[in-house]
Structure 1
Amino acid sequence: MPDLLLLALLLAAVAIGWWLGRRDRKQRSPARQQPALSRDYFVGLNYLLNEQTDQAIETFVAALEVNSDTIETHVALGNLFRSRGEADRAVKVHQNLLARPTLSVTQSHTVQLELSRDFLHLGLLDRAERLLQTLIREASSDSTRHSAKKLLVDLYERERDWQSALDVAQPTLIRQHDDIRRAAAHWLCELAQQNMQSASPSLARKRLRQALSIDDRCVRANWLLAKLEHDTGQYKAEIRYLKRIPEQDNDFTPIILEPLRDAYHLLEDISGLELSLRQVIERGAFTTAIILLAETLQRREGNKAAEDFIRDQLSRTPSLRGIDYLLGLYRYDIDGLERERIELLKRHTRELIEATPRYRCSRCGFSGSHLHWQCPRCRSWGMTKPVTGIEGE
């Protein structure tokens, strides 16, 4: 489809350029016979008819004269090359345009913006950075300056230069774009983690509170604040931060459950753990919460109580992990051939669980066994969440 769009654009541009040139010559010397379309035009048509797309594109590019009427066409042509994955050809088109002395200031800035996109696509980040910094300083158009800032933020993010990304994005981009606001909170979390690794907890806390002031739905900020409290032995404070996460986004509830259990155990508050787990299950039948509560019942009341509880939950919300846990309970009450059969079933359920992704990006569908705060595929922040359903939570 991009090839067809490109060829249509070129055909139209060449034909319009020829017509404008013909009209101009006619006005200047009406008695002179007008030349026909250039030979390159017909050569390009021949390539097109023979389905030789690349040759047709090259020929039409050669036939398309650069002038004030075709600059936008050349810009679009370079962009189409980039969208086809041919950013090196896009660079040639855009650099050729910049070499033209007839470009207006606005046109020059537009071409520089597209050239910086080409460089980003090719991974030439230093060249893209210099172009974008120049545009931010010199662009006469607010929209061009705005676009340059967005690209520069993207560049700094690729380089993991979180502070530079924040400096460029604040305050305008953060205020105007939800994705950048969400990303900025995560950049602060990245900086906070660096502070935690360098034993600067107070600075880490400051950054995490700043992250929440930018995006009050930033789950990761409360997650890291809970970790800070855990590391200093403040388990009650850790529990408070963990309990804020389901209020921000209930889909992230599964990530708090094991730390929540550990904190209550360290406080020797098993009744508090049981109450918290029951509250979680009321908000959503998360398998991890069900299993943790079953384990609590098993220790206090024995296998039968845990079995009855799990069976009741499975009748409401079936889950593979719940069945696997129930099979594990059944092993305690049987032996011989029946035990071997249960072991075989449990081995199969365990293999299925291990082969099933635990987290999935809600934006692009990328899945895996680890939580990525930034999706490795689409690079969106905070969109990878625990998988729910029969094979998940």
Structure 2
Amino acid sequence: MQELLLYCLLPVAAASGWLGARKHYIAKATSGEMDSLRRACRGGMDILLRDSPDKAVELISGALSSSADSFSAHMALAALARKEGLVEKAIALHQNLLAKNGLAEVERGQIRFELGMDFLRAGLFDRAEDIFTSLLALPAQREIALAQLLDIYQQEKDWPKAMECLRGMGGCGRRGESLAQFYCEVALAAWTTTGNAMEAQAHVAAALEQAADCVRASLIATELALASADYALAYRCLKRVAEQNPVYISEIFPYFLAHGERLSERRELLDYLDWIGAKYNSAEAAMTLAALISRSEGLDKAVDYLSATVAARPTLRGLHALLGLLCEMPVPFPHLFVVRQSLQRFMLSSPSYHCRQCGFSAEILYWRCPACRYWETMRLRHDAPCVFE
């Protein structure tokens, strides 16, 4: 009986030994794999510290290729490669991940999105667009895919597609303002490329419907009204700008200088400029009014008005304009030219416009900042020179 019992226990002992040995060798293999991965990562970090990101990515990706569970590590490495400008390597890493079996649908969606970002970084907009469009069917990726498609369409100036994309985005901040800018772009295209003023007017109306405070739409409406010699409408559009956003009132004064009393009866026009200059402490309004006074009443009257205005509301721009008028006097004080030129050089040492979002500077007004690509963030510097002829 005892011999029979020992005979039955032999298979159990053999199985236990086999399982123990298997566990030992698996642990040893896993430990060896982890040691190899750690060595590769340490080597990669050393190379990164020596400013060789391409070699670091190559070394670490080689170690990861032998690891069975390396999804997160591969994704992080591909992101590092793209950040360092190694876009081809990032594309290869993401494509290799997509070729693997056993990935969850959510993981595949993440990889495809990152691959689209790789193509976008490489400037391959058509391939990026195809990927982001295919991701619209995945609820987890839809919003971020729409955001990237919107960016692509804005860069390509495909405004109808940009509108469609923006309308599909839920909870998008400033959607009305962005749609208004898109309509302004379409209006300008209709007017400048085909000369279709009626279509342009319809798009301007749509822009104002989306954002009643869209200054750009009012300025385009002004141009359209002037083109058809409807000066009364142009005057109303210009006055609307101050009500929409006083920050941009400096953009309306060149129209007053160019068209003057055709816009409105002279006394009403001068009173309006005087009122807006006092209300918003606008040096440009005072300078415009002084220029109009100089045309109709003479240089002496213009100097008197601007001198009083600068004394009451001193600004560098107002002082610069006053010096300009004084230099036009029949017998100007010789040193005034030197003073005015020195002041102008000082004021021109910085660009006229800056972006309140990212700080980008420029000499002209961009409705969309070229750096951060936000709409209506460019502002005129208060000390920027403004010389009216």
TM-score normalised over the length of structure 1: 0.82
Whichever of the two has the greater Rg, that structure is 2
Equivalences for residues 1-393 of structure 1 within 5 A: 29-32=22-25, 34-35=28-29, 36=32, 37-39=34-36, 41-46=38-43, 48-49=45-46, 51-52=49-50, 54=53, 55-65=55-65, 69-136=69-136, 138-139=137-138, 141=139, 143-170=140-167, 172-173=168-169, 176-197=171-192, 198-267=194-263, 269-299=265-295, 302-331=298-327, 335=331, 339-389=333-383
Deviations 1:18-56 (A, max 9, x none): xxxxxxxx9993344624344353254245457446344
- Cα distance in 1 for partners of 2:127, 2:145 equals 13
- Structure 2: gaps (5+ residues): 1-18
Provide the C-alpha distance between the structure 1 equivalents of 2:78 and 2:243, rounded to a whole number of angstroms: 47
**Pair 31,112 (structure 1): closer, same or farther in 2 beyond 3 Å:** closer
In 2 relative to 1, CA 320–251 (structure 1 residues): closer, same or farther, beyond 3 Å?
same
SS in 2 for 1:380: coil
**Alignment partner, residue 10 of structure 1:** none
**CA positional deviation for 1:224:** 0.6
Q: Give the drift of 1:267.
A: 4.3
Which range is displaced more, 201-210 or 178-187? Answer: 178-187
Cα RMSD for the two superposed structures = 2.8
Post-superposition CA distance 1:183-236 (Å, at most 9, x none) = 322121111111112121121111111112222222111111111111111111
CA distance in structure 1 between the aligned counterparts of 2:274 and 2:309, rounded to whole angstroms: 12
Q: Report deviation, 1:259.
A: 1.1
Structure 2 CA distance for partners of 1:113 and 1:85, relative to 1, 3 Å: same
Runs of 4+ in 1 over 6 A off after TM superposition: none
Q: What SS class does the counterpart of residue 111 from structure 1 fall into?
A: helix
Say which SS state the counterpart of residue 367 (structure 2) adopts: coil
* Structure 1 residues 237 and 268, CA gap change in structure 2 (3 angstroms): closer
Aligned to 1:253, the other structure's residue is in SS state: helix
Structure of higher RCO (CA pairs closer than 8 Å, 6+ residues apart): 1
Contact 2:183-2:207 within 8 A present in 1 as well: yes
Post-superposition offset of 1:249: 1.2
Structure 1, unpaired ranges of 5+: 1-25
Deviation per CA, 1:244-273: give whole Å up to 9, x if none: 112221110000112134444214621111
Q: Equivalent residue of 1:216, what SS?
A: coil
Question: Are the counterparts in 2 of residues 45 and 56 from structure 1 also a CA contact under 8 Å?
Answer: no
Rounded Cα–Cα distance in structure 2 between residues aligned with 1:68 and 1:260 = 72
Aligned residues: 361
Distance (whole Å) between structure 2 residues aligned to residue 241 and residue 206 of structure 1: 15
Percent of aligned pairs with the same amino acid:
26
